[in-house]
Structure formats: structure tokens, C-alpha cells
Amino acid sequence: METYLLEWANLLLRWAHVVTAVAWIGASFYFVFLDSSLTPPQDEDLKRQGVSGELWAVHGGGFYHPVKFAVRPPELPAHLHWFYWESYSTWLTGFALFTISYLWNASSYLIDPARMPWSPTGAVGAALAFLVVFWLAYDAICRLWGQRPGGERIVGALVALLVCGAAWLACHWFAGRAAFLLLGAMLATSMSANVFFWIIPGQRTVIASIRAGQPVDPVHGQRGKQRSVHNTYFTLPVLFAMLSTHYSFTYNHPHNWLVLLGMMAAGAAIRQFFVLRHGYKLGRNPHPWPYVAAGLLLIGALVVAMAPPRAAVAPASSAVVGATSSAAIGYAQIQPVIAQRCYGCHGQAMQMKNIRLDSASLLAQNAQAVYQQAVVLRAMPMNNATQITEDERVLIKKWFESGAKVD
């Protein structure tokens, strides 16, 4: 029953997490687009009010005319919409999902003894430390160099090095799937922390100054803008880290940390293309095609580098062919492998994902899932905790391709 309830919690939290993430990312992308697309106001009244930029847009059958006051409006409106619950809800649902999916079952999902023989408590503590330590280091870098002339280049270089170090550690300390997710959670935590500790407090300070009739210090807007821009570059790397956990060929690669960094770099480059493209359309920037080209070339290089080697096909005698024919594989041959490698998580004592394989009928019912997870995706057994061999994966493949017979 516990496994069943955890599955429901996982499903509902994942659903909520995706919905809130869509709202947050959509708002982030929209405001980056808006800032890059604003033009100086043409109307004299808008100029007198202190409007720094405006945009005309059409959508959904109507026309929209957003304007931006760079420092402060002439007066505060009665209703002011804040954008922060999208961020907070995304982090809260994501952390809850991370807890029940990985931290709750750390020995199964977080720990790979071949990499680091953690205790469950030690692994959980180390994983949580990744979220906290990265944020503190990233925040310190932004504090020290973020407001200096030319400091953004230094910030970018140091944060990139920080991410590289974190990726190497995570992929050498934790199971590959957990390491990828942990890097995404680490960056997403910093994104939400930017909103919580800098962007929203800065906006509250500005509003308090306006209401008190005091001059507004523009540094609050500058800091908020800086962290908001960082968030938009983190977005695509975070999305890749989260989605890649469904594709074991990425996180099970011998050099998985380089795969992760390569795809994150490609995502950041592609995001830069879209950020600069808005300014290009207004004649402010040169065409940013080199960024998208660099991102696509990097992805292409990874596709080629990670391609599995072609297996040499040697002629075989008819006796060997008959002995290894997929038609010869039946339940009597496959059952010992399933019992040794799969019953621990999918037997009577435990039914992970509500799946049991400890009878002929149950194995037949889940044959497609067994084939996909153990042979195609190679995601099971989780972290290869039961040490399934390549020959046994081939045996499962032959059994499935012969019709998955259990009689």
C-alpha cells in the first residue's frame, strides 16, 4: 500500500510541478522577450511620464500596449500584479517530488555503490548540500563581481566553472540518473532563490520608497534584472537535466558528466540565440545565428561521439544458430534471470511501480515493460543493483522477440 500511495503522490506532484514550471518559464521567457523588444515611446505624454520603452502586440483577437518605467512610475496603481508564486510553487512541488522519488528511497535511487558507498543518510545529506552550497557559492560570485564594470563576464566564467565542478562531483558520487536530476534541481533552486532573496525583496524596497516619497535607488532594479537574466540562461539546461532522466543512454554513459555539461552548454547557447534575436529584429544586435549553430553543432557532436559501436557479425554454424535462436527461449530459461535480478523490487515482498514479475502470468502481462526497461533503455535494474549481465539482457531480448512465451 505504501508503494501504491507513493506512486499516486509522484504522479500528482509531477503534474503540479510541470504545470507550475510552465507558468514560471512562460512568464520568464515573455519578460525577456518584452525587455528585448521595447522601443522608445513615440507619444509625448508617455515620454513625460517617464516611460523608457513600449511595445505594441496583437494576440488572441486583441491589441496590447505594454509600457515600461525603468525606475518608477509617476504613481503606484491600485492593483499591482506580482510574479513570484510561479517560482515558489515550481520549487516547492519539485522539491517534494525529489523527496519522494529519490530521498525517500535513497538506497535504490540515489546511491550507486560502485561510485560511492554512501549510507542512505549520508547520501541524502550530500544531495541536499549540493542545493545549498551551490546557491551560496553562486550568490557570493554575483555579490563580488556582479556590479563591477565588465563583471558579468567574470560572473559567467566562474559560474560555468562552478557548474562543471558540481557536474563532475555529482556524476562520481551518485547514481547517474540521480546525478543528472540533482544538477537540474541545484540550478532550479538557485533560480528560485534569486526570486526569493533578490528580485522580490528589491521590488518591495522600490515600492516602499515610492510610497514614502523617497528617491528610488536604481541598484535594486539592476540587481533584479541581473538575476532574472541568469535565470533565463539556466532554464534550458535545467529542462534538459530533468527530461534526460527518462533516457538512460545519457546518464549511463561512461563520461556522463561531460554529456550533461555538453547538453547544458548547448541549451544555454540556444537560449542566447533567442534572447539576442529580439534585439536583432530591431537592428540592435548582429544576427545571433552563431549561438544556435554552436548549440546544434555541440548536440550533433555528442550524438556522433555517443553512438554505440557497430557489432561485428560473424558467420555461425547451424548448430550455434539453433542453440541461440530466439525461438528456443522460453519461460524455463528466462525465469531464473528474472528471479535473481528483478524479484527484489518486483516480487511479493515489494512491488515497485505496482509491478510484479514473480509468476508466469505476471511476467507475460509486463513483458513489454521488461523488454523496454532492461533491454532498450537499460534503465533496469535501477543502477544495476542486482548486477545483471550483458548475456542476460540478450536472453531477455531473445525471449521477448520470440513472443514472450511463458507456457
Percentages of the chain per state (helix, strand, coil), in multiples of 5:
70, 5, 25
- 3 state DSSP class of 251: helix
Q: Encode pLDDT of 239-272 as tens digits.
A: 999 999 888 889 989 999 999 999 999 999 999 9
| β-bridge mates for residue 346, sequence order | 351
pLDDT tens for residues 250-259? 998 999 999 9
Integer Cα distance of 231 and 225 in angstroms = 10
Burial 242-268 (b: 16+ CB within 10 A, else e): bebbeebbbbbbeebbbbbbbbbbbbb
Helix H or strand E encompassing 159: helix 151-173
User: pTM of the full predicted structure?
Assistant: 0.82
> CA 261, 267, 269 angle in degrees (round to 5)?
105
Distance (Å) of CA 345 to CA 242, 348, 349: 24, 9, 8
User: What is the pLDDT, as a whole number, of residue 320?
Assistant: 37
pLDDT confidence of residue 285: 83
> What pLDDT is attached to residue 378?
81
Q: Which residues of the chain have pLDDT under 70?
A: 1-2, 310-328
Cell of 333: 530459461
Smallest CA-to-CA distance from 401 within 381, 375, 382 is with 375
pLDDT at 231: 96
